[in-house]
Amino acid sequence: MSRGGSGLRERVCQSNLALVASGLVTETFGNVSGVDRAAGLFVIKPSGVPYEALTPANLVAVSLETGRVLDGDLRPSSDTATHLELYRAFPCGGIAHSHSAYATAFAQARRAVPCLGTTHADYFRGDVPVTRPLTREEVEQEYERHTGLVIVETFRTLRLSAEDVPGALVAHHGPFTWGVDPMAAVERARVLEYLALVACLTYHLDAHAPGPAAYLVDKHFRRKHGKDAYYGQPNGGA
């Protein structure tokens, strides 16, 4: 059996196809990965392969320790080093990256996606941050690795929890999201794009629209997440 296990490969493949089905992908932009921490590896989409040609077998397994390819005949996504740094820093099971229109617009404007209401707070406990621009040296030397590192730096500087705010915008680039597994990362990518759209509409109506009180944000986030969550059914029903 190829490294990464058939179950993980299948989940990562399905998640990449879900990213496309969500309308967040143009051409071959974007990628999804999933991690097996016990095995010390993650599985990611190969670089430039059309989504319609994607199969579990042609995904690429990468070492969490070294970042080297462990299994696969194809070159891994060009964003592999970014995923690696996020897995090393954040307790997540899957990562998604897209160039979806509204979230990317915020990234290009170097603006965080603001928390303007409870719809946002259901998934992100506060603004979705934007990183600083990368320096010339960071771009010219290990660009993709520094893309991951600048996300980690942003969370440390702002003292944000990667579990409370499961996403970030890389300045001039686009969004990265993460979750407990690859499909959860895709779900957050879909939600982030919707929130960026709604924020644009809100600012069109009122360029100075205030955000909600912190206690309201906390209430909506915690009713869905954490040990005191009570949204939905115990068996996972809606």
> Full-prediction pTM beyond 0.85?
yes
**Token code pair at residue 135:** 């320096």
Q: For position 16, what pLDDT does the model report?
A: 95
- Residue 230's pLDDT band, with cuts at 50, 70 and 90, is confident
Catalytic-role residue among 36, 122, 164, 218: 122
Q: For position 232, what pLDDT does the model report?
A: 74
Contacts of 60 (CB under 8 A, 6+ apart): 43, 44, 45, 46, 69, 71, 72, 74, 75, 76, 77, 80
Q: For position 225, what pLDDT does the model report?
A: 84
The question of whether 231 is a catalytic residue gets the answer yes
The question of whether 122 is a catalytic residue gets the answer yes
Q: For position 5, what pLDDT does the model report?
A: 66
Q: Report pLDDT digits (tens) over 106-129.
A: 999 999 999 999 999 999 999 999
- Does residue 237 have a pLDDT over 70? no
**Token code pair at residue 199:** 């924020």
* DSSP-assigned beta bridge partners for residue 61: 43, 71
**Token code pair at residue 41:** 């590896």
Q: Report pLDDT digits (tens) over 90-103.
A: 999 999 999 999 99
Q: Which CATH number fits domain 6-222: 3.90.550.10, 3.40.225.10, 3.40.980.10, 3.40.50.720?
A: 3.40.225.10
Q: For position 4, what pLDDT does the model report?
A: 62
Q: Residues 173-180: what's their mean pLDDT? A: 97
Listed by start position, the domains of the chain span 6-222
Q: For position 228, what pLDDT does the model report?
A: 82
Q: For position 89, what pLDDT does the model report?
A: 97
Distances in whole angstroms, Cα of residue 78 to Cα of each of 46, 223, 224: 8, 37, 34
- Does residue 238 have a pLDDT over 70? no
DSSP 8-state assignment for residue 94: E
- Residue 226's pLDDT band, with cuts at 50, 70 and 90, is confident
